[in-house]
Structure 1
Amino acid sequence: MDLSTLPQHQKAATVARILHAEILEGRYGADGQLPTEPELVKRFGVARETVRRALQLLKESGVVMSVQGSGTFVRRRPRRTTLHRELQPQGGPADWIDHGSESWVPLGPPASWSRGEVPVELADSIGLEGQVAIWTCALGIDAEPRVPLRLVRTYVPVDVVEGLPNLGSAASGGSAVLERLAQAGAELFWTLSDGARMPELSEATALDSPIGIPLIQTLRITRQGGTVIEATEYVVSSERFCLTYRPDQDANGLNLD
């Protein structure tokens, strides 16, 4: 196949589309090897750099993977799991995985508070500006192997955290802030919204998910009066999870509790 008539900037994307279609057709099997770079250069009549860019596009989208010294292979995608959600009266969502058989457990170094700023892409949605206290945590399931599946990041105005002593433990976070404020008699209102966004490189690495796979994003924003006092973002890979809500009532109007 000769792609010489195409503009240079379209060649890599065209090669990637053709190979992707062949992978979907099963030409290379569920986890088979793709042709070598020299073979693809000869087949498509393009430069080796164009072939490498096409393969990189397929890697970023999670279609193929490279094995050092062996070549490029079709990537076997993980089984997608349902993430069940039930809303709590205070503090947002309670999530569990299929059949309730696995529970979330913190992974990695103990989480702690640090100072920073809300990312630009979240600033408008959250409504917090300037310096904030940030709490981050990676969660997996209580089963082997324990790998990160969910990332949590909480943003709280610095003055709110400073007004809540002894909040630096690993068990803290957005929910702990809300519990402490509620105990002090604060009247809180929270909203929950679901969306999607592309991962940062560090997030894709932590979740072992290709950089081109979107994240399912849940954003909880808590206000006291009209002021945002807490915002927590939960993200999971859309390749691994789909999200479903448990209703309060069944189709006949019967309460499920």
Structure 2
Amino acid sequence: MSSQRASDQQKQPKYRQIADYLRAGIMDGTYPSGQPLPSEETLAKQFSVTRPTVRQGIAELRASGLVEVMAGRGGFVRSPHSRPSLTRPRGVRREPDGRYVEADGMRWTNAEEPTATRTDAPVALADLLRVPPGEPLFTYDVLQTAEGSPLRQLHRTYVPFSVLVGTKFEEEPPPPAPDLYRALTALGHELHFTEYVRTRMPMPDQAESLRLPDGVPLLQLLRVTRNSEGQPLALEELHLPGDDLELTYLL
């Protein structure tokens, strides 16, 4: 390390020096993923600072998603080089009995009753659904938990009113997905699915519902259900934790 670089580092606030020291250790494997960081007391003595200064340095790493702090247990490493603990094949398949299930076979349980509302299509969703902005949509929101796993997801279903014209669902609301798939099939549609995936930082209520640590993004999946002519029939918006989950697609 050059004397100039060392001098520049010494000019940094102590909490930043602590953050840089720990970040370097995480990146080079000195502190492996899942392992605890040095205690606040150890770092305070090493850098001749108070424990609040140590916490300020660790807070920088939490914000960047490199550290998870567990109440009563301290800080644990979340290395960007580690493999995710859960890999999920994506897609929807139809069973012989007519049910549609997720390709990974995972069973989802509603943590609460789906909330049904009527909304107007915003521009971005209207484009995907090929309906005019402002067209009314049936909308369902529900928090779901995965059977046998701590994984949680926020699941929203949109169905344009125009898709249901001339059907029994003009008089009664359609069911939310996945039951929606069988209902659309019963109306004579052959279903095809397209998913769009991106990451973004969660809103505070989403982070709370999904139990996301600070600095962890979420995966946003938009699944469009189309008929054999390519007409969009419904859209689902799914939000899942983006820290320890990997999605795979069969090409």
What secondary structure, in the 3-state scheme, does the structure 2 residue paired with 1:213 have?
Answer: coil
What secondary structure, in the 3-state scheme, does the structure 1 residue paired with 2:75 have?
Answer: strand
Task: State whether structure 2 residue 7 is matched by structure 1 residue 26.
Answer: no
Distance in 2 (CA, whole Å) between partners of 1:28 and 1:176 is: 40
Distance in 1 (CA, whole Å) between partners of 2:109 and 2:152 is: 10
2:40 matched residue in structure 1? 35
Q: Note the alpha carbon deviations across 1:94-143, whole angstroms, 9 max, x for none.
A: 232xxx6xx32313211131134567876665666335332122222323
Give the one of 159, 170, 176 matched to 1:173.
176
Q: Note the alpha carbon deviations across 1:34-87, whole angstroms, 9 max, x for none.
A: 4359938x93989x68x655433322315131536x8x4225789611212344
Give the one of 148, 151, 155 matched to 1:152.
155
Structure 1 residues 18-27 or 117-126, which shifts more? 117-126
Distance in 2 (CA, whole Å) between partners of 1:85 and 1:203 is: 22
Distance in 2 (CA, whole Å) between partners of 1:91 and 1:217 is: 25
Q: How far is 1:219 from its partner?
A: 1.7
2:221 matched residue in structure 1? 218
2:145 matched residue in structure 1? 140
> Quick one: which amino acid aligns to residue 108 of structure 2?
V
Contact 1:198–1:211 (Cα < 8 Å) also in 2? no
2:206 matched residue in structure 1? 203
Contact 2:93–2:101 (Cα < 8 Å) also in 1? yes
Contact 2:93–2:102 (Cα < 8 Å) also in 1? yes
Q: CA 1:81–1:66 in 2, change beyond 3 Å: closer, same or farther? A: closer
> Quick one: which amino acid aligns to residue 103 of structure 2?
D
Q: Note the alpha carbon deviations across 1:221-240, whole angstroms, 9 max, x for none.
A: 23466764411122322323
2:188 matched residue in structure 1? 185
Q: How does 1:107-118 map to 2 (within 5 A)?
A: 107-116=110-119
Q: How does 1:73-92 map to 2 (within 5 A)?
A: 73-75=75-77, 80-88=85-93
What secondary structure, in the 3-state scheme, does the structure 2 residue paired with 1:174 have?
Answer: coil
5+ residue gaps, structure 1, are: 248-257
Distance in 2 (CA, whole Å) between partners of 1:199 and 1:85 is: 22
Structure 1 residues 224-233 or 27-36, which shifts more? 27-36
What secondary structure, in the 3-state scheme, does the structure 2 residue paired with 1:210 have?
Answer: coil
Contact 2:68–2:213 (Cα < 8 Å) also in 1? no
2:59 matched residue in structure 1? 56
TM-score when normalising by structure 2: 0.65
> Quick one: which amino acid aligns to residue 76 of structure 2?
V
Contact 1:104–1:141 (Cα < 8 Å) also in 2? yes
Percentage identity across aligned positions? 23
1:233 matched residue in structure 2? 237
What secondary structure, in the 3-state scheme, does the structure 2 residue paired with 1:204 have?
Answer: helix
5+ residue gaps, structure 2, are: 1-5
Contact 1:106–1:137 (Cα < 8 Å) also in 2? no
Q: How far is 1:177 from its partner?
A: 3.4
Q: CA 1:91–1:212 in 2, change beyond 3 Å: closer, same or farther? A: farther
Distance in 2 (CA, whole Å) between partners of 1:243 and 1:17 is: 31
What secondary structure, in the 3-state scheme, does the structure 1 residue paired with 2:23 have?
Answer: helix
> Quick one: which amino acid aligns to residue 31 of structure 1?
P
Q: How far is 1:3 from its partner?
A: 4.8
Contact 1:156–1:229 (Cα < 8 Å) also in 2? yes
2:102 matched residue in structure 1? 94
